Structure 1
């Protein structure tokens, strides 16, 4: 997604990646299928993030619905 930040919830650096984000902004959280994004949202909520939105079904569902994906 345009402006996306890749922060892997399974990475040892996930807490460091969260520290660089503003907890008061809105975030759409997603992964390939939806499992890791739910785990990431739980950690983010525990870290004070409250404006989180789950991209239900993951990036695959987004693309199937016609959503655009930007890659480097």
Structure 2
């Protein structure tokens, strides 16, 4: 796991081709806004979270965020333990995000 600043994160997701963005917040938080291109996998739903993680391609790079950085750090650690080699945590999470956002 690597912690990235907003600037590092934005540069990486713009320049990397093999990138997946994971939002590990709740559905309610997601509905308030999310980073474009993200996939919601709520870490507070343990079985659904693990089922979704087991479907992921381990060759890709995963950029993971939550509201403030705690849950995404935990998610990165879980992925790392499962053999994912390229996980990145957004420092400060969505609360500090100043880039583009979308809403459902």
1:2 aligns with 2:36: yes
Structure 1 unaligned blocks of 5 or more:
none
Map residues 33-48 of structure 1 onto 2, 5 A cutoff. Answer: 33-48=68-83
Structure 1 residue 68 and structure 2 residue 103: aligned?
Answer: no
What's the secondary structure of 1:29's corresponding residue? strand
Shift of 1:7: 0.8
2:65 corresponds to 1:25: no
- C-alpha separation in 1, matches of 2:39 and 2:50: 14
Q: 1:51 aligns with which of 86, 89, 98?
A: 86
Q: Kindly report the root-mean-square deviation, in angstroms, between the aligned alpha carbons of the 2 structures.
A: 1.1
CA deviations on 1:8-48 (whole Å, 9 max, x unpaired) are 12212111111221111111110001111011111111111
Aligned residues: 69
Q: Which has the higher strand share?
A: 2
Aligned to 1:27, the other structure's residue is in SS state strand
Distance 1:70 1:20 in 2: 25
TM-score, normalising length from structure 2? 0.61
Q: State the TM-score, normalized to the length of structure 1.
A: 0.85
Runs of 4+ that moved beyond 6 A: none
